[in-house]
């Protein structure tokens, strides 16, 4: 998982562009659109009503600013990614951020950031990080984490698995991951240690900043497999028109969390209460359903749950 861990096929012309270049006008993670070009996702988080009781608990500095600044690596469809304009963020994490802000009487500003830079920027550059952060012991030491989603690790290969990759033994294979994810460390790090101990060739790990670029490498055949959060793999399969296949089963399912600076306990507690409110009133479920990711829903949001 992204330590981090939609919906019809792409047009053939777009697929050709994705296969040849990671910087196409329509990213590999772009959502399906209807005839008008609008995203299939239909829930409007700005319709979420302000909760006066929760809004009254917003820290003074944040209330004065009026905007919840969210750090997010917008290359991780369908959780957080950019529209075709290359600027506007969308995805279920983005909708959740907007719904949280609306509940608190704030506006949401989702700012694109490199994934490894988000946690260090909490409390200074960003109020919160919402970017598919998997809860683990190391992160809990550094930041507050508010659970809101469940995902596991899933692998994918080019359609038909032409390089005969097995999740049980990827020694000697070339595997793509997004930089800073749990798929990179500890998953592939541990697998590589086992390869070395067994006297087998090492895994060639291709670590890229953007998940869309990892997917493009797999479609192009320059890597043998990729590993990512389960929702990301499912979405990539749909958006590449079935050019890649799932490999093996989902494993290491764990909660993902909104991140808040360690010192900002009041804001972290408020985030937990707000997410739980959105779960209870059904807004949260509608957001996930609109992005076809209801399987990852949780019933309870927790502050700093132990992994």
**pLDDT beyond 80 at 162:** yes
Closest Cα partner for 296 from 93, 110, 31, 15? 93
- What percent of the chain is predicted at pLDDT more than 70? 87
pLDDT given for residue 2 in this prediction: 55
Q: Are strands 128-134 and 67-72 parallel, antiparallel or unpaired?
A: parallel
Burial class of residue 124 in the structure, from the number of CB atoms within 10 Å of its CB (0-12 exposed, 13-18 middle, 19+ buried): exposed
pLDDT digits (tens, 9 = 90+) for 106-126: 999 999 999 999 999 999 999
Handedness of CA 243, 181, 68, 50 (dihedral sign): positive
- 127 CB-side CA count, 13 A: 25
pLDDT digits (tens, 9 = 90+) for 269-302: 999 999 999 999 999 999 998 887 888 999 999 9
Q: Which two tokens stand for residue 229?
A: 């959060």
pTM of the model: 0.74
pLDDT digits (tens, 9 = 90+) for 9-68: 222 222 232 322 222 223 333 334 332 233 445 789 889 999 999 999 999 999 999 999
pLDDT digits (tens, 9 = 90+) for 164-207: 999 999 999 999 999 999 999 999 999 999 999 999 999 999 99
Q: Which two tokens stand for residue 156?
A: 């994918």
The span from the CA of 296 to the CA of 151, in Å, is 6
Residue 58 CA: distances (Å) to CA of 53, 94, 101, 279:
10, 20, 10, 19
pLDDT (average), residues 248-255: 92
**pLDDT beyond 70 at 132:** yes
Q: Compute the mean pLDDT over every residue in the chain, rounded to the nearest whole number.
A: 87
Phi/psi of residue 128, nearest 5 degrees: -140, 160
SS3 143: strand
- Going by the DSSP 8-state scheme, the letter that residue 295 receives in this structure is G
| Helix pair angle (211-220, 12-20), 10° resolution | 100
Centre a 10 Å sphere on the Cβ of residue 250 and count the other Cβ atoms it contains.
18
The answer to whether 45 and 70 have CB atoms below 8 angstroms apart is no
% helix / strand / coil in the chain, to the nearest 5? 35, 25, 40
Query: What does the DSSP assignment read for 205-248?
Result: EEEES-HHHHHHHHHHTSSSEEEEEHHHHHHHHHHTTT-EEEEE
Q: How far is C-alpha 251 from the geometric centre of its chain's CA atoms?
A: 17
């Amino acid at each position: 998982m992204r330590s981090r861990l939609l919906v019809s096929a792409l047009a053939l012309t777009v697929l050709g562009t994705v296969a040849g270049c990671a910087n196409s006008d329509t990213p590999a993670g772009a959502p399906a659109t209807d005839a008008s070009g609008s995203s299939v996702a239909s829930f409007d988080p700005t319709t979420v009503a302000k909760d006066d009781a929760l809004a009254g608990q917003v820290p003074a500095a944040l209330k004065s600013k009026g905007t919840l600044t969210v750090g997010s690596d917008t290359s991780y469809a369908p959780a957080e990614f950019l529209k075709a304009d290359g600027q506007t963020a969308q995805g279920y994490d983005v909708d959740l951020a907007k719904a949280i802000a609306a509940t608190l009487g704030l506006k949401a500003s989702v700012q694109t950031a490199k994934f490894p830079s988000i946690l260090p920027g909490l409390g200074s550059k960003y109020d919160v990080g919402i970017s598919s952060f998997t809860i683990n012991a190391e992160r809990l030491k550094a930041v507050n984490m508010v659970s809101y989603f469940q995902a596991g690790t899933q692998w994918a290969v080019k359609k038909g698995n032409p390089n005969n990759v097995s999740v049980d033994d990827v020694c000697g294979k070339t595997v793509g991951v997004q930089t800073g994810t749990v798929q990179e460390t500890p998953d592939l790090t541990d697998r590589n240690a086992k390869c070395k101990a067994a006297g087998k060739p090492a895994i060639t790990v291709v670590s890229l900043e953007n998940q869309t670029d990892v997917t493009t490498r797999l479609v192009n055949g320059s890597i043998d497999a990729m590993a990512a959060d389960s929702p990301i793999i499912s979405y990539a399969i749909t958006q590449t028109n079935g050019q890649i296949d799932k490999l093996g089963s989902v494993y290491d399912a764990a909660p993902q969390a909104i991140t808040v600076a360690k010192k900002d306990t009041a804001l972290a507690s408020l985030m937990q209460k707000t997410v739980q409110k959105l779960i209870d009133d059904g807004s949260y479920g509608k957001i996930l359903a609109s992005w076809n990711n209801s399987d990852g829903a949780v019933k309870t949001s927790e502050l700093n749950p132990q992994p």
